[in-house]
Amino acid sequence: MLGLGAEIGIDLGTASVLVYIKGKGIVLQEPSVVAIDRNTDKVLAVGSEARRMLGRTPGNIVAIRPLKDGVISDYEVTERMLRYFINKTCGKRRFFRPKTIVCVPSGVTEVEKRAVLEATVDAGGGKTFLIEEPIAAAIGAELDITKPDGNMIIDIGGGTTDIAVISLGGIVVSKSIKVAGDKFDESIIKYMRKAHNLLIGERTAEELKINIGTASPRGKSIKMDCRGRDLITGLPKNITVTSDEMLDALKEPVNAVCDAVHAVLEKTPPELASDISSRGIVMTGGGALLHGLNKLVEKRMGIPTYIAEDAVSCVAKGTGLSLEHFDVIEQTTAQPGRRTSKKNKY
């Protein structure tokens, strides 16, 4: 149970949710999935347990990912998921509402921002503020963004890739594209269907991406067994896939990320571009761990590109560290309107 005046940071991602508690660090990392019984409208599982149900549920149970492309696609399910995570980390029986900072992609609209704010407040958060993902990622990657120097960050999450040039604590140039980890998975599913007449699920595609996926040629090709349904016979089928095939499968989304990085660099003021050229580009987020992606960006841009330490947790860490400056955020961020009372689903 947390004490009065507790402050929490939430990285509300398309693929996973991370919760940071001031003084404790990251206390929760769970997939953004909710399993609901359609007949009773009851939440059966949230997080890891619900993720195991994806693609494996009977007709009355549905496993939902309530966030798509970095924004809320199902408001009510998002609120119920947030309530579950806040209760899990802060305690169900509490007499306070924790101050909360939530991360959002840099390209979200005011309507989308308000949806995040209101969902968090309705789920049990107190004073709630937003921080843009590139800023949080840069703080979590331990970049000093307060000085008048150019820092470039590429945050590749599940739903969006956020690219930004940051100086003096603010974003100078940014671009957010809806090409990230989920699109990598979709490209693998399409490739397997086209090249092998094999239908595979999201989890299998993600396993292929993590284990043998690559954005630039590997020194030595590696293989992995893949199971799915043969589209011709309709029967289960097992084939061996190579990393060279994954290079071909991921070419389109990987090039889209590189093109977006190029577009941001084109709009960057020359003095900051000079700083970035000497300092390098920093990559964060789970998508940054795709083998050879940093090398491809480095080759295409001609700028050294590094993967941040503990890239997956950078945004959550940065959100948590920004809690230290809650007073500054409070002055610069608008709060949501009047809280709408909703029935507690738990």
pLDDT at 94: 65
The answer to whether residues 71 and 159 belong to one domain is: no
- In a domain, residue 87? The reply is yes
Kindly report, residue by residue over 182-234, the tens digit of the pLDDT: 999 999 999 999 999 999 998 899 999 999 999 999 888 899 999 999 999 99
- In a domain, residue 338? The reply is no
The answer to whether residues 149 and 111 belong to one domain is: no
What mean pLDDT do residues 96-122 have?
Answer: 87
- In a domain, residue 129? The reply is yes
What mean pLDDT do residues 134-160 have?
Answer: 91
Mean pLDDT for all residues in the chain = 87
The answer to whether residues 199 and 322 belong to one domain is: no
The answer to whether residues 214 and 303 belong to one domain is: yes
In the 8-state DSSP scheme, what is residue 283?
E
d(CA 210, CA 197): 22
pLDDT at 203: 87
pLDDT at 337: 41
* Residue 180 and residue 158 in contact, taking contact as beta carbons nearer than 8 Å: yes
d(CA 99, CA 238): 50
DSSP codes joined into one string, 27-67: EEEEES-EEEETTTTEEEEETHHHHTTTT---TTEEEE--E
How many other CB atoms are found less than 10 A from the CB of residue 214? 23
pLDDT greater than 70 at residue 1: no
- In a domain, residue 171? The reply is yes
pLDDT at 275: 94
Kindly report, residue by residue over 231-258, the tens digit of the pLDDT: 999 999 999 999 999 999 999 999 999 9
- In a domain, residue 340? The reply is no
The answer to whether residues 233 and 131 belong to one domain is: no
More confident residue, 91 or 82: 82
Portion of the chain with pLDDT greater than 90, in percent: 50
Tokens of 315: 């945004």
DSSP-based helix, strand, coil % in the chain, nearest 5: 40, 25, 35
Angstrom CA distances, 212 to 105, 147, 288, stand at 28, 40, 15
Tokens of 131: 């921080």
pLDDT greater than 50 at residue 340: no
Q: Residue 90: which of 141, 139, 27, 32 has the closest Cα?
A: 27
pLDDT at 234: 94
The answer to whether residues 99 and 156 belong to one domain is: no
* Residue 169 and residue 145 in contact, taking contact as beta carbons nearer than 8 Å: yes
The residue segments making up the domain with residue 39 are 7-135+315-332
Portion of the chain with pLDDT greater than 70, in percent: 91
Angstrom CA distances, 16 to 251, 293, 320, stand at 25, 21, 16
The answer to whether residues 286 and 328 belong to one domain is: no
The answer to whether residues 14 and 36 belong to one domain is: yes
pLDDT at 200: 94
pLDDT greater than 60 at residue 329: no
Q: Residue 163: which of 117, 209, 131, 132 has the closest Cα?
A: 132
* Residue 210 and residue 316 in contact, taking contact as beta carbons nearer than 8 Å: no
pLDDT at 183: 94
- In a domain, residue 15? The reply is yes
- In a domain, residue 346? The reply is no
pLDDT greater than 90 at residue 59: no
The answer to whether residues 300 and 323 belong to one domain is: no
The total number of structural domains that make up the chain: 2
- In a domain, residue 40? The reply is yes
pLDDT greater than 50 at residue 344: no
The answer to whether residues 86 and 222 belong to one domain is: no
The answer to whether residues 264 and 151 belong to one domain is: yes
Q: What global pTM score does this model have?
A: 0.86
The answer to whether residues 25 and 89 belong to one domain is: yes
More confident residue, 324 or 19: 19
Q: Which of 88-97, 151-160, 273-282 has the lowest mean pLDDT?
A: 88-97
pLDDT at 323: 80
Q: Which of 67-76, 92-101, 185-194, 216-225 has the lowest mean pLDDT?
A: 92-101
Q: What is the CATH number of the domain that holds 90?
A: 3.30.420.40
Highest mean pLDDT among 2-6, 10-14, 50-54, 153-157: 153-157
What mean pLDDT do residues 262-283 have?
Answer: 95
pLDDT band at 124 (very low <50, low <70, confident <90, very high): confident
